[in-house]
Amino acid sequence: MRKVNLFIVLVLALVLIVAGCSSPSSPKEGAGGSTVGSGKVEESREPKTLTIMVAPFPNDVEKKLWEKIVKAFEDKNQGIKVELKTGDVAVESGKLTTMLNSGVTPPDAILIYAGPARVSVLSQGNLIMPLEELYTKNNWKEKLTPFAYSMATLSGKIYEVPHGLDAIGVFYNKDLFAKAGVKVPATKDELVTAMQKLKDAGIQPIALGTRGGNGGGWLYGNILDAVAGRKKVEEVLYGKGKWNDPEMVKATETLNDWVNKGFIVKEAVSLTFPDAKAQFLDKKAAMYASGTPTITDIASMKLEDSIGHMTFPSFIEGQKTNPTGGLGYSWVVPKNTKNVDLVEKWINFILTDFTEIAYKDPSFYLIPATKTAFTLKPAGSILAEAVKNISDGSAYNPAYNPTVFIGNSTKEAYLQNLQGVIGGLISPQEAMNNIEAGNKKDRAEGFKLK
């Protein structure tokens, strides 16, 4: 009997040992990386990977800013690892569409240079996902500024989530202004006098580079707002006016006049906008028209205290100018993205947490597309000045930057003919006639702002 009892005890002990080896506290790898134990299948503890693509970093300041944002997201979303890639995000270059058409696994989300014409190329090519369901589910409309949401819905459907808003104004060097004895101009006459004084002091008034980029458009958009006025520009963009109307021609004549007076050098047609930016940052020119991303270059060279942000004063009595703007950057989701759930978390983070985190960094350069961007104050003085200049006190209120509101044929004619005027190859009237011809072609092909 004693031997039988001892045998039973040994059997029970063996059963307990075997059971312990397969208990939930000692998991065993199952198929697909899942863990098996006690009849339950647990999810893998391996982190999920979200791949995002942004434009190449122009400097280490911007790279570090993105790394900080990614870390904040990962800290908030344990179990998700972000793979941050850089690449060509300009739709017009053709590289982005080629990549999306190639069949290779695309990034889960891409931060593109925004604009109705750019997004329409991707949506009409069936390369990106419509996002209405995610907007409704997450109430993204209420997190965005009204302007940003309206721009994202111009086509009737939603294919983008606005990320950053443009504020294309005029950066000026305070030291060079002081050297020439000029102040920030408040009237047309003061502006012309200031540029003449700068030139007489041996200082190039305006740095400009128009070759292979949007530099001419950034400057000319500010001239348009000052000379033709926002109402007239709006009429033209929405089809109620023409590019060769007298007010628009007058703005181009102003550009031509500044070239003839030496405020802008004709050699600008052979310079790129990075060339012009370098001239400005090296104190070889007093003013430079650009968007707020230039702030990262200013910060990297520690020039924050010597540079300010302004607009050209209105040439129309009683009117005020603002920096030109529009959607600068938007997130799009490739049609073949597998990790829509992770993209959803990322966009929610961008629309809720991003602004507050970014604004605490003095070197941050962008105006987020969120409502909170206009209730919080950026730590950086230049960005704070830009936000103030482009808002009506509580919301984004830009003048129009035409390049993000026009069709492809109009844009091509716009940039080419501005170059022609600056280079002295074409008259202002001829230039505007050519741009209007491009506009007619776009409208005949169905392009129209609603």
Please give the average per-residue pLDDT across 331-350, as a whole number: 96
Tell me the mean pLDDT in the region 313-329: 93
The DSSP code sequence of 89-117 is: --GGGSHHHHHHHS-SPPPSEEEEE--HH
What is the per-residue burial (b if ≥16 Cβ within 10 Å, else e) of 191-221? bbebbbbbbeeebbbbbbbbeebbbbbbbbb
CB-CB neighbours of 38 under 10 Å: 10
Domain boundaries, the chain: 48-165+326-399, 167-325+403-445
- Name the pLDDT band for 244 (thresholds 50, 70, 90): very high
Cα distances (angstroms) measured from residue 90 to each of 30, 115, 296, 329, 330: 44, 10, 20, 10, 11
String of b and e for 73-102 (b: at least 16 CB within 10 Å)?
beeebeebebebeeebbebeeeebeebbee
Contacts of 147 (CB under 8 A, 6+ apart): 165, 395, 396, 397, 398
Which DSSP helix (H) or strand (E) runs through 81?
A: strand 80-86
Residue 68 structure tokens: 């900080």
In this predicted structure, the answer to whether residue 27 has a pLDDT above a threshold of 70 is no
The overall pTM is greater than 0.75? yes
Highest mean pLDDT among 141-145, 389-393, 396-400 belongs to: 141-145
At 30-64, the pLDDT tens digits run 333 333 333 343 445 688 999 999 999 988 888 99
Q: Which residue has the higher pLDDT, 416 or 2?
A: 416
Q: How far apart are CA 376 and CA 394, in angstroms?
A: 10
Distance CA 318, CA 180 (A): 28
Provide CB contacts within 8 A for 215, sequence distance 6+: 208, 209, 268, 271, 272, 273, 276, 289, 290
DSSP state for residue 152 in the 8-state scheme: H
Strand boundaries in 174-235, DSSP class E? 204-207
* The pLDDT of residue 85 is above 90: yes
* Domain 48-165+326-399 CATH class label: alpha beta
Q: What is the mean pLDDT of the chain?
A: 89
Fold of the 167-325+403-445 domain: D-Maltodextrin-Binding Protein; domain 2 (3.40.190)
* 48-165+326-399 and 167-325+403-445 share one fold: yes
3-state secondary structure of 85: strand
CA 38 remoteness from chain centre: 52
* 328 closest CA partner among 301, 367, 359: 367
Q: If we measure between CA atoms, which residue out of 290, 224, 292 comes closest to residue 252? A: 224
Token pair belonging to 315 = 């040439």
Dist CA 245 CA 297 (whole Å):
38
DSSP per position, 305-367: GGEEEE-PPPSSTT-----EE-EEEEEE-BTT-S-HHHHHHHHHHHHHTHHHHHHTSTT---E
